[in-house]
Amino acid sequence: MMSANVTVKTSGRLHMGFFDLHGGLGRKFGSIGLSLEAPNLLIEAKVASELKIIGSDVVPQSVIARAYVIAQHLLAKLNLNKSVELVVLQNIPEHAGLGSGTQLALAIGAAISRLYNLDLSTAQIAGLTGRGGRSGIGIAAFDHGGLLIDGGRVSVPLTDATVIPPLLARYDFPEQWRILLIFDASQPGVHGEQEKMAFSQLPPFPENLAAHLCRHVLMQAMPALVEQDLSAFGHSIQALQMHVGDYFSPAQGGRYASKLVGDALRNLEESGVACYGQSSWGPTGFAVFENNADAEKHLQGLKIQFPDPMLSWMICSARNQGSELI
């Protein structure tokens, strides 16, 4: 029996870094990421005679247009002769390094699946919408939330068929830890065709450096999460951020895509903050703190030090559960 309507809520994620950009053992990329409690994507959907996308006052028209293309593509792929009306109530900032495109595609797919009783898995929706070809973090975040580590994809050129990187490990992120997000409204991160071109033009990644980063994840980040040791966890993330950021610097103009965000992150480094970096291609930066009071203290200092109106800030917690379908 079809559902009359459905609400889907999901959220942004941090992509904290790749740990094997060499691919010599048969798999490439492998990444670590974190599901966030905010910002959120919230959509309502119902069966309709024709495709219609509506957005609230806070949702940009570009998100509405993107949702229309995704829904139209899915309906055609699924050979549905009926349609859907979607209302986008909240959105994750686009091209900011928070996985907005993947969450939008998965949320729309999940809504259509529930409305028409198709029982599609998230992996099937990802395949239909072409998501998860390089990183599986966004897909795992949609399903599970938490701190996520995937095993990359087989090291062959990307094809039309999406083979989702397998989820290797998933941990609850400490409830008391807080994440500060640093947004730069003046520029988007590398995405789409620009991202594909960047990967194709980068030189081979050194094998010994890939091995070094894998060791950091396995022997430092993972046990640090289990033991809730933010200093050790941050040290591992810094190794990924430093080496991968420098490797990507020809494509994004430096270790960090945004000079404004980069300056703020360097200020946090000088203040002794253990865990910080750029999510995906940016420009969004992040820092992790032991508790809310510590995060607020550093945020107030940053606001004074960096009053540029293009910068904005948000403190949130991790999301230790997947998306919600109601």
DSSP run (H or E) holding 55? strand 52-55
pLDDT at 34 exceeding the cut of 70: yes
Q: What token pair was written down for 211?
A: 């091995």
Longest dimension (CA), the chain: 59
Considering the domain 178-316, what is its CATH architecture? 2-Layer Sandwich (3.30)
pLDDT at 238: 97
Summarised one tens digit per residue, pLDDT across range 241-285 is 999 999 999 989 899 999 999 999 999 999 999 999 999 999 999
pLDDT at 66: 97
Check: CB of residue 87 under 8 Å from CB of residue 22. no
Tell me if 5-172 shares its fold with 178-316.
no
pLDDT at 158 exceeding the cut of 60: no
Mean pLDDT of the chain: 94
Domain ranges of the chain: 5-172, 178-316
For residue 58, CA distances in Å to 54, 61, 96, 102 come to 11, 10, 17, 20
State the CB neighbour count (10 A cutoff) for residue 117.
9
Categorize the per-residue pLDDT at 59 as very low, low, confident or very high, splitting at 50, 70 and 90.
very high
Distance of CA 205 to the CA centre of its chain: 23
Residue 191 to residue 260: CA distance in whole angstroms: 19
Residue 212 to residue 192: CA distance in whole angstroms: 29
Owner of token pair 């992040």: 286
Residue 45 to residue 52: CA distance in whole angstroms: 10
pLDDT at 161 exceeding the cut of 80: no
DSSP for 125-187, please give it. HHHHHT--SS--HHHHHHHT-SEEEE--EESS---SS--PPPEEEEEPPPTT-EEEEEEETT-
Radius of gyration in angstroms for the set of CA atoms belonging to the chain, rounded to a whole number: 19
pLDDT at 89 exceeding the cut of 60: yes
Share of the chain above pLDDT 90, in %: 88
Residues 103-107 have a mean pLDDT of: 98
pLDDT at 2: 65
Cis before residue 309, ω within 30 degrees of 0? no
pLDDT at 3: 72
| Half-sphere exposure for 61 (CA within 13 Å, toward CB) | 0
Considering the domain 5-172, what is its CATH architecture? 2-Layer Sandwich (3.30)
pLDDT at 200: 78
Summarised one tens digit per residue, pLDDT across range 194-246 is 777 777 788 999 999 999 999 999 999 999 999 999 999 999 999 999 999 99
Q: Which residues contact 111 (CB under 8 A, 6 or more apart)?
A: 6, 8, 43, 45, 84, 86, 325
Provide the 3-class DSSP secondary structure of residue 6.
strand
Residues 113-136 have a mean pLDDT of: 94
pLDDT at 33 exceeding the cut of 70: yes
Residue 198 to residue 213: CA distance in whole angstroms: 21
Share of the chain above pLDDT 70, in %: 96
Residues 271-300 have a mean pLDDT of: 97
Residues 101-118 have a mean pLDDT of: 97
pLDDT at 25: 94
Provide the 3-class DSSP secondary structure of residue 296.
helix
